[in-house]
Chain A
Amino acid sequence: MLSDITIGQFFPGKSIVHRLDPRAKILLVIAFIILLFVVRNPVSFVLIGIFLAVIYIVAKIPARAIWRGVKPILPLILFTSILNLFFVDGEPLVKWWIFKITAEGISVAVLMAVRIVCLIIGSLLLTYTTSPIALTDAIERLLKPLKVIRFPVHEMAMMMTIALRFIPTLLEETDKIMSAQKARGADLETGSIIRRAKALIPILIPLFVSAFRRAEDLALAMECRCYRGGEGRTRMKQLHFSHLDGISAVATGVVFVAAVLLDVFLPKII
């Protein structure tokens, strides 16, 4: 039951989007986020929307995946929209007691909502098309310059890899411990929230003890395989920027510039 949980949200595939260098993808997503906060014009957002739709179709990501990603942050979107709706100054359209709704408020609220939705959909694309391992790898390489200021880049990446490696193992273990405790009469499903939380303690304690034991074993095994930190380490899989990365960077760039130009030259609405 627990082992059904998949790690991350990766949809394996062989599309162009999947084959891009993970570093290129991360950088493009960052550029995309900046773009979202630069443009304000609805026409630009229509262009961005088409752009996202095209990539999702190329990457063959099902539409329900988008919905699954957006759903959990709907309350947040609603909350920010309501705040914007009431607290942006301008010519009031409706006024009631201390609340007033302005035309500016409505447009800012809609703009923010659209921005956040685009932001989520755009960055989900990264996790949908890149395996967690490739992401870890790319982050390690992108952050490498931070070593100069003694930021432990390699250690962080190693921690992420080990965490990813042990998630399924520990899930399986949790399952076993739960069965063992149930076999001894532990009641995990009924009672108030506090009761159920308390019932988790006899599951968490053995899980922690075992996790520490595993950590000790793993550290020993790593030492036996000559691990001594990131110093002088090479990697089997090298990341190479290919033509594909160049082409997609140019294509994305064109769309982004078009969006910005539209924003600059079209009449301002907001």
Chain B
Amino acid sequence: MSDLIEFQHVSFSYHQSEEDAEPIPVLHEVNLSIKKGEFVAVLGHNGSGKSTLAKHINAILQPTEGVVYVDHIDTRDDELVFDIRQHVGMVFQNPDNQIVATIVEEDVAFALENLGVPPKEIRRRVDDALKDVGMFAYREHAPHQLSGGQKQRVAIAGIIAMNPDCIVLDEPTAMLDPKGRREVLNTIERLNKEYQTTVILITHFMDEAVRADRVVVVDEGRVLMDDVPKAVFVQVERLKEIGLDVPQVTELAYELRKAGVAFAPDVLTVEEFTEEFKRIMEA
């Protein structure tokens, strides 16, 4: 399968407002390719460059050096910016600041209206998108009547109504309560499994990253690790060095091993931990 998104030697620096000031480098030589249908988590602490990386995927930012291809389109091509944005939808952290309209269904229709889709088709796609995120019953509500998790699901519906190949979510659960986080994550996971939508989830929650097919760890603008979750999270010490945590059970397994118990290092979920625990106890 061909790559949907490809970063080739991408570097990016922010220019400061004073002209003679040195630009601030954010990304260095990033090489990354993401295939259709993958669920990729991008991990990194604050200021690691993970949001900057995300903004390159739908041409909000353009690389200072190197090239980003989205479905073989170079993101520096200004004429095709809207084609790229149709391919790659983006959901942001604050659900309040990305809902435009005063009624849920009108907001979901926003992108389609911008693209000039005929009214009947918009109606159908809006209803489908709302059903996909489980918010169809709330279609006539005002956004401020909804909970954070519900608002974020409306924002996701607004993106999937465009039928994008890929959704980039920039810390979508950072402002939500545990219930909202669960709702949003389940929605994302379902979109990935049922519709093979490529998902790029930027997060600093380890338990979210565990659910991805692949974890990319970013630190100081460089891709540090890029592998399946199990292979990434066994490197407990290396992750701690750059200020990241590992899932609690993985850390517990790590500590147990340090204490001399022959515990498997690659347990990521509570279920895996109990299995492994049972095995050890029986042995």
Binding site for B on A (CB under 8 A): 132-133, 161-162, 164-165, 168-169, 172, 213-214, 217-218, 220-228, 232-238
Q: How far is the CB of A163 from chain B (nearest CB, A)?
A: 10
B200: chain A residues at CB < 8 Å are: none
CA distance A227 to B60 in the complex (A): 13
Q: Is the CB of A234 within 8 A of B117?
A: yes
CA distance A98 to B162 in the complex (A): 74
- List 5 tightest A-B contacts by C-beta distance, closest first: A221-B98, A217-B97, A225-B111, A168-B144, A236-B109
Chain B contacts with A in 82-107, Cβ cutoff 8 A: 82, 85-86, 89-90, 92, 94, 96-103, 105-106
Q: How far is the CB of B119 from chain A (nearest CB, A)?
A: 5
Question: Is B133 an interface residue when CB atoms closer than 8 A count as contact?
Answer: no
Question: Is B143 an interface residue when CB atoms closer than 8 A count as contact?
Answer: yes
Q: Is the CB of B97 within 8 A of A221?
A: yes
Pick from A172, A232, A237: contact of B144, CB under 8 Å = A172
Binding site for A on B (CB under 8 A): 58, 60, 82, 85-86, 89-90, 92, 94, 96-103, 105-106, 109-119, 122-123, 126, 142-144, 155, 158-159, 162
CA distance A17 to B109 in the complex (A): 27
Q: Is the CB of A234 within 8 A of B94?
A: no
Pick from A217, A226, A236: contact of B94, CB under 8 Å = A217
CA distance A235 to B116 in the complex (A): 8
CA distance A214 to B96 in the complex (A): 8
A235: chain B residues at CB < 8 Å are: 109, 113, 119
B105: chain A residues at CB < 8 Å are: 236
Q: Is the CB of A161 within 8 A of B114?
A: no
Q: How far is the CB of A222 from chain B (nearest CB, A)?
A: 6
Main secondary structure of the interface of A (DSSP, over half): helix
Q: Is the CB of A217 within 8 A of B82?
A: no
Pick from B89, B122, B142, B143: contact of A234, CB under 8 Å = B122
Q: Is the CB of B112 within 8 A of A217?
A: no
Q: Is the CB of A237 within 8 A of B119?
A: yes
Q: Is the CB of B114 within 8 A of A227?
A: yes
Q: Is the CB of A233 within 8 A of B102?
A: no
A133: chain B residues at CB < 8 Å are: 101-103, 106
Pick from A224, A232, A237: contact of B85, CB under 8 Å = A224
Main secondary structure of the interface of B (DSSP, over half): helix
Q: Is the CB of B116 within 8 A of A223?
A: no
What are 18 A-B pairs with beta-carbon distances under 8 A?
A133-B101, A133-B103, A161-B101, A165-B100, A169-B144, A214-B97, A217-B98, A221-B98, A222-B100, A222-B110, A223-B60, A223-B85, A225-B111, A226-B114, A227-B114, A228-B114, A232-B116, A236-B122
CA distance A165 to B100 in the complex (A): 7
A162: chain B residues at CB < 8 Å are: 100
Most central of A172, A214, A223 by chain B CB within 10 Å = A223
CA distance A115 to B89 in the complex (A): 54
CA distance A60 to B227 in the complex (A): 65
B118: chain A residues at CB < 8 Å are: 234
A214: chain B residues at CB < 8 Å are: 94, 96-97
A172: chain B residues at CB < 8 Å are: 144
CA distance A165 to B119 in the complex (A): 22
Q: How far is the CB of B86 from chain A (nearest CB, A)?
A: 6
CA distance A162 to B110 in the complex (A): 12
Q: How far is the CB of B133 from chain A (nearest CB, A)?
A: 16
Pick from B90, B97, B112: contact of A218, CB under 8 Å = B97
Most central of B60, B96, B99, B111 by chain A CB within 10 Å = B96
Q: Known contacts being A133-B102, A236-B126, is A220 close to B92, with CB within 8 Å?
A: yes
Most central of B85, B102, B105 by chain A CB within 10 Å = B102
Pick from A168, A217, A220, A237: contact of B106, CB under 8 Å = A237
Q: How far is the CB of B204 from chain A (nearest CB, A)?
A: 19
Q: How far is the CB of B128 from chain A (nearest CB, A)?
A: 13
CA distance A224 to B91 in the complex (A): 9
